């Protein structure tokens, strides 16, 4: 139940950004180039830790493959308003 | 559980189905919802009461895109459904994405399984990171009772056990790949990947990926039994043969081949053989070795017959396999072949046997195969 992984770098980044906002409470909006990539890397680590993936903070295929799977819409970690 | 552990104060929880998906008959939706709620009432004192109008604790609806809670769905696949923790107003409400195809079988997506997961949230369960638990966030299909030990422990922390029901046999806990005592049930190649079977799960090892992926056997092959005894790949025929008990199945890629299961005795094994412990195809010779108790057989794939002079003793033909306490190993759990070496697995060890030197050259932990 996995859609084909996007090959384009920007598409991969957008998929990950949407995923981390929705399920890991990553704040939307511009944080400035360097800051946003730090925040993103940190959220990727949290997600990799949850799914017992290798914790790299990078968008490797393993990580993207999990992000691309059909799933529940409730957050995995973070505040529930 | 969710932060602050929200839960229903009353053990009678009301629910109302406010609309239906056109993918299924109404009675099939009713049945899926009923069975999904029953999954949780079986293991707790909770009882569910259906309302046909007005406001219920759990309001159930199907919608697409933005559907009224500022938490829009995303079209087909991806996000399937969501639910809110127990509480007033939207608390407990459960929404299904109408852009999905809802089914009552193993085709995507089984409404009963997704509803059982979402009602877990509506009762106060958050996500689990145990791939075998119902509350794991990623969808996977499995038959049978869907709650794992992890699910039952969580829900009973909120509501306690069901006073009327004997303890339910939950799904097996997911195996821990780096447990130093880990033994494996079976291992095979499959078109360049390696599949390692353990209890009701298998790890999928892809040469490019560092992390083995753990999956429930039933989520990929609902027709296979929970326990696999042995497996091997015949590259020439592009088939993987899976053994469990006296039966065997064939996979072409991830697809089960029609006409199976067949009995292992059709290979020429005597009826006294009730299970195959390990199997491996030796490409260089075209022979498949089948290990049963302390012996092994050689099957000629070309002529589809058992070779003469078998069975032979494992201990005699593969000298050098020793337990840690020095006892000689005479049984095998799993076997693979690579670059002239036969890897024989027994309990938590694997023995690398060199055909050229006719002896065991290395002894390693079984889960070294899983990058542990």
Task: Search chain A and give the residue with CA nearest B220.
Answer: A1
Element of type H or E holding B40: helix B26-41
Rounded Cα distance, B14 and A48, in Å: 37
Chain B residues touching A51 at Cβ < 8 A: 129
Q: Which of B108, B127, B210 sits opposite A1 (nearest CB)?
A: B108
In angstroms, the separation between the Cα of residue B34 and the nearest Cα of chain A is: 20
Q: B183 near B334, Cβ under 8 Å?
A: no
Q: B226 near B217, Cβ under 8 Å?
A: yes
Which of A1-15, B6-20, B216-230, B235-249 has the weakest average pLDDT? A1-15
Chain A residues touching B122 at Cβ < 8 A: none
**The two structure tokens encoding residue B341:** 């070496």
Average pLDDT over residues B360-369: 91
**pLDDT (tens digit, 9 = 90+) per residue, B31-41?**
999 999 999 99
pLDDT value of position B168 = 60
Average pLDDT over residues B213-239: 89
Binary contact (A71, B80; C-beta < 8 A): yes
Q: A interface mutation test: which of B75, B100, B106, B138 has the most A CBs within 10 A?
A: B138
Binary contact (B114, A23; C-beta < 8 A): no
Binary contact (B78, A3; C-beta < 8 A): yes
Q: Which of A50, A62, A73 sits opposite B82 (nearest CB)?
A: A73
Q: B112 near B102, Cβ under 8 Å?
A: no
Is the dihedral angle over the CA atoms B177, B320, B358, B300 positive or is it negative?
negative
**The two structure tokens encoding residue B319:** 């000298």
Average pLDDT over residues B127-134: 90
Binary contact (A80, B85; C-beta < 8 A): yes
Residue B100 among the catalytic residues: no
pLDDT range class, residue B372, cuts 50, 70, 90: confident
pLDDT value of position A81 = 47
Which of B118, B189, B233, B295 does the annotation list as catalytic?
Answer: B118
Q: B118 near B82, Cβ under 8 Å?
A: yes
Chain A residues touching B83 at Cβ < 8 A: 74
B312 touches chain A (CB under 8 A): no
**pLDDT (tens digit, 9 = 90+) per residue, B280-336?**
999 888 999 999 999 999 999 999 999 999 999 998 899 888 776 777 788 899 999
B204 touches chain A (CB under 8 A): no
Binary contact (A69, B139; C-beta < 8 A): yes
Backbone φ, ψ for residue B196 (5° rounding): -120, 115
Backbone φ, ψ for residue B306 (5° rounding): -75, 140
pLDDT value of position B167 = 62
Chain B residues touching A69 at Cβ < 8 A: 138-139
Q: Which of B231-263 are b and which e, b meaning 16 or more Cβ less than 10 Å from the residue's Cβ?
A: bbbbeeeebbbbbbebbbbbbeeeebeeeebee
* DSSP string of A30-62, one letter each residue: ---HHHHHHHHHHHHHHHHHHTT----SS--HH
pLDDT range class, residue A75, cuts 50, 70, 90: very high
pLDDT value of position A79 = 56
Chain A residues touching B209 at Cβ < 8 A: 61-62
**Among B47, B59, B53, residue whose Cα is nearest residue B11:** B47
Rounded Cα distance, A59 and B242, in Å: 35
* pLDDT greater than 80 at residue A35: no
pLDDT value of position B277 = 96
Question: Of all residues in chain B, what percent carry a pLDDT higher than 90?
Answer: 69
Rounded Cα distance, B184 and B193, in Å: 17
Q: B209 near A61, Cβ under 8 Å?
A: yes
* pLDDT greater than 70 at residue A1: no
Pairing of strands B47-50, B12-17: parallel
Element of type H or E holding A26: none
SS3 assignment, position B246 = coil
Average pLDDT over residues B246-255: 92
Binary contact (B71, A53; C-beta < 8 A): no
Residue whose pair of structure tokens reads 């296979």 in the numeric block:
B224
Q: What is the mean pLDDT of chain B?
A: 92
Q: A19 near A5, Cβ under 8 Å?
A: no
Integer CA distances (angstroms), B244 to B237, B238, B279, in order: 21, 20, 12
- R_g over Cα of chain A: 12
**Among A66, A22, A60, residue whose Cα is nearest residue B215:** A66
- Chain A residues contacting B via beta carbons under 8 Å: 1, 3, 22-23, 50-54, 61-62, 66, 69-76, 79-80
* pLDDT greater than 90 at residue B169: no
Query: For residue A17, with 0-12 CB atoms within 10 Å meaning exposed, 13-18 middle and 19 or more buried, which class applies?
Result: middle
Rounded Cα distance, B110 and B102, in Å: 6
Q: Which of B71, B73, B80 sits opposite A70 (nearest CB)?
A: B80
Binary contact (B77, A70; C-beta < 8 A): yes
Rounded Cα distance, B116 and B34, in Å: 9
């Amino acid at each position: 139940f996995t859609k084909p992984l996007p090959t384009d770098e920007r598409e991969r980044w957008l998929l990950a950004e949407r995923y981390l906002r929705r399920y890991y409470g990553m704040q939307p909006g511009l944080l400035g180039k360097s800051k946003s990539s730090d925040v993103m890397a940190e959220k990727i680590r949290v997600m990799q830790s949850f799914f017992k993936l290798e914790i790299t903070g990078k968008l490797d295929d393993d990580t993207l493959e999990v992000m691309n799977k059909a799933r529940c819409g409730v957050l995995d970690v973070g505040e529930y308003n | 559980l969710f932060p602050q552990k929200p839960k229903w104060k009353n053990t009678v929880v009301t629910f109302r189905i406010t609309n239906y998906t056109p993918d299924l008959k109404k009675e099939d939706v009713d049945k899926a919802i009923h069975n999904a709620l029953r999954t949780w009432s079986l293991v707790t004192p909770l009882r569910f009461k259906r309302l046909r109008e007005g406001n219920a604790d759990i309001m159930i609806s199907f919608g697409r895109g933005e559907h009224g809670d500022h938490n829009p769905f995303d079209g087909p696949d991806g996000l399937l459904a969501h639910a809110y923790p127990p509480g007033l107003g939207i608390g407990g409400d459960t929404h299904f994405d109408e852009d999905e195809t809802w089914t009552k079988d193993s085709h995507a997506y089984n409404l009963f399984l997704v509803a059982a997961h979402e009602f877990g949230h509506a009762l106060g369960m958050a996500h689990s990171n145990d791939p075998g638990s119902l509350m794991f966030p990623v969808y996977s299909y499995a038959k049978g009772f869907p709650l794992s030990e992890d699910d039952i422990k969580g829900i009973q922390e909120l509501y306690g056990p069901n006073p009327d029901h004997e303890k339910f046999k939950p799904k097996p806990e997911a195996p821990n790949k780096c447990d130093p005592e880990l033994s494996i049930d079976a291992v095979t190649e499959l078109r360049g990947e390696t599949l390692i079977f353990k209890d009701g799960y298998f790890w999928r090892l892809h040469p490019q990926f560092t992390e083995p992926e753990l999956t429930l056997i039933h989520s990929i092959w609902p027709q296979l039994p929970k326990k696999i005894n042995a497996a091997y790949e015949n590259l020439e025929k592009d088939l993987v043969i899976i053994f469990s008990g006296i039966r065997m199945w064939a996979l072409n890629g991830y697809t089960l081949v029609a006409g199976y299961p067949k009995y292992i005795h059709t290979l020429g094994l005597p009826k006294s053989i009730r299970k195959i412990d390990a199997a491996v195809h030796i490409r260089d010779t075209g022979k498949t070795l089948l290990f049963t108790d302390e012996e092994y057989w050689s099957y000629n794939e070309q002529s589809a017959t058992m070779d003469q002079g078998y069975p032979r003793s494992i201990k005699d033909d593969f000298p050098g396999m020793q337990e840690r306490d020095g006892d000689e190993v005479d049984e095998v759990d799993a076997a693979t072949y690579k670059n002239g070496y036969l890897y024989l697995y027994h309990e938590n060890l694997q023995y690398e046997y060199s055909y050229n030197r006719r002896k065991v050259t290395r002894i390693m932990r079984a889960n070294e195969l899983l990058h542990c």
